[in-house]
Structure formats: structure tokens, C-alpha cells
Amino acid sequence: MRNITKKIILSTVIFLSVMGFVNRVNATEASLYISPTSLTKNTGDTFNISIGFNALSNKVCAVEGTLVLNNLSCQSIAVASDVIAQSSPTCSNLHFLIGIPNCTTLDKNIISISVKSGSVGTSSINVTSVDIIGEGSSAGSTSASGNYTINSIPVVKSQSETVVQKAVVQKEIEETKQTENQIVKNDSEVVLNVVDETINQPAGLVEAKVSKGIFGWIWSNIVWIIILILSNATTYIICRINYKINKR
């Protein structure tokens, strides 16, 4: 009877041990999360990042790790009020070891950090040496990361600069119009003056100018006129001589 009882107890212990091992193998490990995981900011912007854990049905009693910032500068860092910081992180020392009172199987935010974006490009935050501690054993050792895009600061003109620029452009347009109007006015005055001078000149002076124009043309073409006269005279003389010869 005692042997049967021992066998039953031993079988039960073995069964429970196997079931516990199987449940442990099939359970998903807890891990750290970072929020937000992605973001776009300008250089010099300040924003907040949260770090916590996803328990995934694991009992979490403590969390340990070290924050690593790339192209980000720590401005301030705070631990959640309902946890116990055995090693509290600071901007000069980003290592942390945080205990969870009475442990928990629920997801929980444990750290909030304010950072300032650096130069144009990419930036990131990671957690290294992660150890999520359960009841007497590790419940997980992985962590997500946050990756961010940093853009240059857009150039924004002040309202006064915009007003001044508009005033300068308007002044240039008005000056251009005034210049064009003055040129048209001057051209009109020149044409009117020429017409007035022509109308108001004495008839004799006008005739003299016309006569001067005719004689000027004759003088400039005198050589060709002489050649034309000599050519016509020669032709006439030759024709007369031929006529007399044929008449005889």
C-alpha cells in the first residue's frame, strides 16, 4: 500500500514538473518597449520618450539596463512614482535597476526621459544589458529601440522682414513705371518739337533746305552724270556719221 502511494505521489510530482517545464518553454518572454518608436523632428527640438516593459503574462519583479543615446542629448530623466529605484538613472549615468513592488504581470511604464535632437540625420535610443527579473529567474532580456529622423530648421521670415521686402519690391515697380513714363514723355516732346519747328519755319527756309537737298544729291553724283552725258553725246555723234555715210 505504501509503495502504491509513493508511486502515485512520484507520478504526480513528475507530471507537475513536466507541465511546469512545458509552460515555461511555451511562455513568451517579457521585453522592454520604447515609445515613440519613430518620429520626425527638427534640430534642437526637445521631446519625451517613455521606457517600459511588456510582461506578456510573466511575473516581473525588477528591470535592469542602460540607456544609450545616439545624436540625442539627455535633458532630464524621471522614474515612475509607483516603483522603487535601487539604481536611479541620471543624464550623466543612464544605468538603472528598478524594482516592482509585489511584482506584476501587467505592462508598465517605468522611465520617462526628455531629450534634445542633435544634428541633421538620424538619431536613436536603445537599451543594453537588459535583464527583466521574475521570481528567482529571468523573465526576459530583449528591448525595442527608438529611431528618429532629424531635419534642419526651416527658415521662416519674420513679419517685419516680409513687410520691408514687399515695400522694396513695390518701390522698384513704381520707379520702373516712372522711368518708362518719362521716356515716353520725352520721346513725345521730341516729335512734337520737330513737327513744330517744321511748321513754324519760313517758306523760304524750307525751300532752301529742299533746294540744298537737290543740289547736294547732284553734286554727290556729278561723276556719273558727266559719264552719262558723254556717253549719250558719243552715241549721237556716231549715229549722225553713219547716217551721212548711208545717205551718200
Q: Give per-10-residue mean pLDDT for the chain (248 aa).
A: 45 41 58 97 97 96 98 98 96 97 96 98 97 94 97 79 74 79 66 55 52 62 79 80 72
Q: Which helix (H) or strand (E) holds 233?
A: helix 222-247
pLDDT (0 to 100) of residue 248:
62
Residue 238 cell numbers, joined:
556716231
Residues in the chain: 248
Q: Which helix (H) or strand (E) holds 147?
A: strand 146-151
pLDDT (0 to 100) of residue 232:
82
Predicted TM-score (pTM) of the model is 0.55
pLDDT (0 to 100) of residue 190:
56
Residue 219 cell numbers, joined:
553734286
Query: What contacts 241, CB < 8 A, 6 or more positions away?
Result: none
pLDDT (0 to 100) of residue 247:
67
Q: How far apart are the first and last CA of the chain?
A: 187
pLDDT (0 to 100) of residue 180:
73
Eight-state DSSP code of residue 71:
S
- Are 87 and 77 a contacting pair, CB within 8 Å? no
How far apart, in whole angstroms, are the C-alpha atoms of residue 136 and residue 51?
A: 23
SS3 156: coil
In the chain, domain spans: 28-151, 157-200, 202-248
Tell me the per-residue pLDDT of 177-213, one tens digit each, with 9 for 90 and over: 777 777 766 666 655 565 456 555 555 554 555 455 5
Among candidates 76, 131, 83, 146, which has minimal Cα distance to 110? Answer: 83
Task: Give the CATH fold of the 28-151 domain.
Answer: Immunoglobulin-like (2.60.40)
- Are 110 and 53 a contacting pair, CB within 8 Å? yes
CB atoms within 10 A of CB 96: 22
SS3 105: coil
How far apart, in whole angstroms, are the C-alpha atoms of residue 173 and residue 178?
A: 9
